Amino acid sequence: MRGVYRLPHDFKQANKKVKSVTSSKTVEKVGENTWRQSSIFTLTALIQSKDRFKLLFLGFIMVFLSVLQPNVARAQSTILREGMAYPIPPTTANRMFFLQRTPNTNTIACDLNVGSNGQVNAKIPLKTYWLRYGDSPKGQKKDLNFIQRHFAYGLNIKQRGDGKYEFWFVSYKKYHMYLLQTKDGKWRVYGKINDKLTVLGSIFIYINGGSFWNPHVDYVELRGQDLSSGKEEVQRLTDVKKDPDEGHDKAG
């Protein structure tokens, strides 16, 4: 790292529309063979059957399967990291970005902290929590424990103006991110990747050995979408002097 990134002065680019930061090359769709086999089986049964009720019933099943297939494929989208397929968390209205790391697929989600009145909490605008894919294919939600919140995945957040926040993970102060509200009222998280201002999409921490309190981090990978070109930017930070995953819970 060449130093702490400071709050950019020009936020005009932040008002541009951005595409999904997930690269289509990294998304793996699964289950296509299963659906294809189901369709062939159903079509064969329709041709061979002389029962009108059975024809109508099987026709309904075929339509149902064709409608359900895209939803199942999206739920099983993954990204390949260090030889392991990590689930891509679904996009939600309040999802800003997500963080993944070895040794398992459990994921840290970073969302807007929206109250029951629909407004973003001005003092604590972001919240982080687990999506535990090891417990459920859909990613069971679970709060961070004390150690995780204060030594690893909690956030230090500073307000820098109306609708402008600067923040960083408590375990790694060198990389600063910015939560900004655009002119159209949308909130996004921005960060510098390859010296370009991007909409942050994901962070990946590769841990290669070490101890519980002092794991050895080979690199931290940042992914985001360049505001100028719309292209995905990827950068690996290898000079991580202080472990970004310090104090992580092995059970997490």
Highest mean pLDDT among 37-41, 79-83, 196-200: 196-200
Tens of pLDDT, residue by residue over 158-172, are: 999 988 999 999 999
Where in the sequence is the domain holding 205, given as residue range(s)?
78-237
DSSP 41-62: HHHHHHHH---HHHHHHHHHHH
Based on the fold, state whether residues 39 and 59 are members of the same structural domain. Answer: yes
Tens of pLDDT, residue by residue over 66-105, are: 544 444 434 459 999 999 999 999 999 999 999 999 999 9
* Residue with the larger pLDDT of the pair 80 and 41: 80
Helix (H, G, I), strand (E, B), or coil: what is residue 72? helix
Based on the fold, state whether residues 69 and 169 are members of the same structural domain. Answer: no
Based on the fold, state whether residues 119 and 162 are members of the same structural domain. Answer: yes
Based on the fold, state whether residues 89 and 44 are members of the same structural domain. Answer: no
Residue 194 lies in a domain: yes
**Cα–Cα distances in angstroms (integers) from residue 166 to residues 114, 138, 190, 217, 243, in the given order:** 18, 31, 10, 24, 21
* Residue with the larger pLDDT of the pair 129 and 27: 129
Q: Using the 3D structure, point to which of 12, 42, 75 is the last residue of a domain.
A: 75
Question: Where does the pLDDT of residue 46 fall: very low under 50, low under 70, confident under 90, or very high at 90 and above?
Answer: very low
Q: Which secondary-structure segment (H or E) carries 108?
A: strand 104-112
Residue 251 lies in a domain: no
Based on the fold, state whether residues 70 and 190 are members of the same structural domain. Answer: no
Based on the fold, state whether residues 61 and 137 are members of the same structural domain. Answer: no
Residue 24 lies in a domain: no
Based on the fold, state whether residues 116 and 142 are members of the same structural domain. Answer: yes
Q: Using CA atoms, how far apart are residues 190 and 200, in angstroms rounded to an integer? A: 5
Residue 249 lies in a domain: no
Q: Phi and psi dihedrals of 235, rounded to 5? A: -140, 140
Based on the fold, state whether residues 153 and 168 are members of the same structural domain. Answer: yes
Average pLDDT, the chain: 78
**Mean pLDDT throughout 152-156?**
96
User: In the beta sheet, which residues pair with residue 104?
Assistant: 101
Residue 83 lies in a domain: yes
Number of domains in the chain: 2
Q: Is 73 left (phi over 0), alpha (psi -120 to 50) or beta?
A: alpha
Residue 1 lies in a domain: no
**Cα–Cα distances in angstroms (integers) from residue 121 to residues 124, 127, 165, 185, in the given order:** 5, 10, 12, 15
Q: Which secondary-structure segment (H or E) carries 69?
A: helix 52-75
Residue 4 lies in a domain: no
Residues 6+ apart with CB under 8 A from 208: 102, 216, 217, 218
Residue 13 lies in a domain: no
